[in-house]
Structure 1
Amino acid sequence: MGKIKLNNIRIHANHGCLKEEAIIGSDYRVDLEVHADLSVPAKSDRLSETVDYVHLNNIVKEEMAIKSHLLEHVSKRILNRIMNELALVSSAEVTVSKINPPLGGDVESVSVAMRLSRD
């Protein structure tokens, strides 16, 4: 078993419950970790036998581009796509963080972390 991590994917998106968030948008950080058996590609050195992190990054970018009211919703969509499109992945965890959220206070970010497993 092994893991592939994409750290600090930076994206501007329009998620949130406030009208302004849907119009102006906010900055987000996404961290992704997927677990898979990496023993075969470790020997073969073939991209076709592993989890392509370019594919993972594209899933994140595409799902973050779809407006959601809640970070939970976009997180679940990301996980569902990974599990549906990448059969080698046995489990995945995503953390979506909104940078400088409009909370009326000095908060660097808020985050939602979710995990999905084939088990």
Structure 2
Amino acid sequence: MSLTVEMSDRFLDAADEWAEARMEDREAAVETKVEQALLEIEYLVTGATEIAFDVDVEREVIRYTPSADLADLLSEQAAETGLDESTILGLHVDLFVGAFSGDDDRPPNAPPV
């Protein structure tokens, strides 16, 4: 199952904050936040420590093929809620996008936020 998730305003705001705090460009920040969120989700479900995904920053979409266990969980949650798997994954991504604020790992020359 390959899923396409639209990045929410909440997600993009978190990526923009990440970019500003680390003096990164938006594309790098978006990729970092996608990786953090998806990896946290997969880790909680399967214990995975590596993932592969595709990000289209201009179109504001994430493409991801979840592990079999995560795909099963998303299918179960979709059946329970009436939402599709992509929407369910998007909700999980939004939940975990703020899990890594990283306030303590700003570069020493970064301006105050």
Smaller-chain TM-score bracket: 0.3 to 0.5
Q: TM-score, normalised by structure 2?
A: 0.34
Computing the radius of gyration from Cα coordinates, the structure with the larger value is: 1
Q: Considering Cα pairs closer than 8 Å and 6+ residues apart, tell me whether 1 or 2 has the greater RCO.
A: 2
The structure with the largest helix share of the pair is: 2
The structure with the largest strand share of the pair is: 1
